[in-house]
Amino acid sequence: MAASGEMSIKDLIIGYGALATSISVGGYIIVQALYHLHKARTLRALRAQAEVEIKALREKPRQFTPDDLARYDGKDPRHCLLIAVKGRVLDVHEAGYEFYGPEGPYKHLAGKDGSRALALMSLKAEDATNDLSELSEDQLGVLDDWATKLYDKYPMVGMLQQPHAHAAPASS
């Protein structure tokens, strides 16, 4: 047993244990703080990139392929949020984010031409295509009403190069 005033080996081990724990907890907190700071800065820089991109698109609309447009579904912070209606690409980045953003009720329309879903008033992802085959006159009328409303509300930033939905099979 150690005399009073002297440190036993047990006291030393407990002391070093406590010190090591404090250092590792402190280190963990610092690493976490640095990580979050870096993440926030990176996200800000990426969002700034999206802002620059959307300004350029508003000034100079361009052609989009479906794959190209798919990058603009609001999930990638480097890109702005776009939808297309009857082939016209619309900038919904600001005024439409709550509708078409990743948490929005109409997120199935983001980054694509979902004219069929508009005609059918459908929230199903599989209806969000530009295939207008077998739609009734009434449904096509519903789509036209949406087009009028949305063309009026959002800036046009391009046209979608429509794939040939009903292309004839290649002749052999």
Using CB under 6 A, list all residues that contact ligand HEM. Answer: 96, 99, 106, 117-118, 121-123, 146, 150, 153
Residue tagged 């070093």 (tokens): 16
- Rounded least distance, CB 52 to ligand HEM, Å: 23
Is 66 within 8 Å of 158 (Cβ atoms)? no
Is 129 within 8 Å of 62 (Cβ atoms)? no
Query: Strand, helix or coil at 149?
Result: helix
Q: Which is nearer to ligand HEM, 46 or 99 (CB)?
A: 99
- Rounded least distance, CB 93 to ligand HEM, Å: 12
Q: How far apart are CA 74 and CA 111, in angstroms?
A: 8
Q: Which is nearer to ligand HEM, 79 or 93 (CB)?
A: 93
Q: How far apart are CA 55 and CA 50, in angstroms?
A: 9
Q: Which is nearer to ligand HEM, 110 or 150 (CB)?
A: 150
- Rounded least distance, CB 100 to ligand HEM, Å: 7
